[in-house]
Structure 1
Amino acid sequence: MTPADFPERIFVTGTDTGIGKTLVSSLLLRTLGYRYLKPIQSGIEEETDTTLVQRLSGLGAEHFWAESYCTRTPCSPHLSARIDGIEISLEQILADIEQISGPLIVEGAGGLLVPLNNQEFMLDLIRALNYPVILIARSELGTINHTLLSLQALRHAGLEVFGVVLNGPPTPENAEAIELFGATRVLAQIPLLPDLTAASLQQCALDYFGGGCR
């Protein structure tokens, strides 16, 4: 797969939290040179996902858009916002995204059914944007069930699945099952990277997504 094969706007989501969405977003930014937005950042005591992606991708500040919501506590967006005394508005996020021109990667928080507020879920944001989706999943035991359930939810919402990326030790059998039963393609199987730096990300981009920024 080469950079020319990717759509101009992509939503990166996952089967869970801590699944590698930010790593894959960094790889895609490094490959495609798009802009990047993480609308909701839950937990800001350490490095945010936006600053991590900027550091790993090696791209300038002009490629990165400020989060619509940054909350202090690393938990579900609806709860983290409640702790901070605010409510996440889907309309506000969509209005912010409307201000961004050109190719864009939007990274979600958690999985598809994490609540944003008392009425809406991450899946509602993805459906409102209607961008092709890249689903990030673990490579190991349990991934088939979690990945197929997430694919089913995306398709039930009428969304296009561009493909799946598996993170972790290579498991060809799991990848084959996901492609067969999920009627999708596994875009890459990315092993654990012991040294997570801009240089190692550049090599990974070359290995799995066909090169550096176009």
Structure 2
Amino acid sequence: MKLFITGIGTEVGKTICSAVLTEYFKADYWKPVQSGDLDHTDSHKIESWTENTVCHPETYRLKLAASPHQSAREEQIKINLDDFQLPKTENKLIVEGAGGLMVPLSDETFMIDLIEKLKLPAALVVRNYLGCINHSLLSIMALNQRKIKLEYLIFNGSFPPDTERVISSFIKRETRIIRISEIEYPSKDSIKAAAIQLTKTNL
């Protein structure tokens, strides 16, 4: 099982959801591109929030906390899709993208191109805010257009029933829904508790 975690935008909780799934599946973790926060990367967070997780090194580590194409340009680098290779592991693997599907890696390539290149199914993290329905449905449409399998739709936090119903009705029957309760202060204990809750739902 290898899975690419993406989101309907920035700050929707991809790293927390990645930690829960990494803990649940006892998987390895890989962040292909880290833009900014090099002293406190998403890999560092996963290591501190989960038990004994192997975090594979990023392909690109960029200093500026911005869109990867801008961060790379600041360092006179051009991100090349051919540089990305899945880590060699016999274990399950959780891969976490940066931002949403149309975040630019360069002027010509986007995060969705990386998912397609790696040939991975996706898990889409959704968070409730004004506009999340629009962003969710556009993201699902984009994945369908590229024929990328949407393995999981992840509702991160609480949602009005009307919002959840509309988004859920837009996915294919093969897509499974995951609900992760609000985790305000991620820690080993809170991530483990969320993973145990997933076990109870027979994910």
Residue 112 of structure 2 aligns with an amino acid whose one-letter code is L
**Pairing partner for 2:67 from 36, 60, 76:** 76
Aligned-residue Cα RMSD (Å) equals 1.7
Please say if residues 22 and 49 of structure 1, whose CA atoms lie closer than 8 Å, have aligned partners that are also in contact: yes
Name the residue aligned to 1:37: 30
1:101-158 C-alpha deviation (Å, 9 max, x unpaired): 4421111011111111121111111011121110011123321111010000001001
Q: Distance in 1 between matches of 2:87 and 2:157?
A: 35
**C-alpha contact (below 8 Å) 2:5/2:94 kept by paired residues:** yes
Q: Which amino acid aligns with 2:72?
A: A
1:58 to 41, 51, 55: 51
Which residue in the other structure is 1:3 paired with?
Answer: none
Aligned to 1:188: 178
What's the TM-score once normalised by structure 2's chain length?
Answer: 0.91
Structure 2 residue aligned with 1:152, among 141, 149, 168? 141
Letter in 2 for 1:83: E
Q: Which has the higher helix share?
A: 1
The corresponding residue for 1:167 is 156
Paired residues of 2:33 and 2:59 also in contact (CA < 8 A): yes
Deviation at 1:45, TM superposition (A): 4.8
Q: Which runs of 5+ in 1 are unaligned?
A: 1-7
Q: Structure 2 counterpart of 1:21, which letter?
A: K
Report the number of matched residues. Answer: 199
Consecutive unaligned residues in structure 2, runs of 5 or more: none
CA contact (8 A) 2:30 2:94 kept: yes
Report if the CA contact (8 A) 2:4-2:94 is conserved: yes
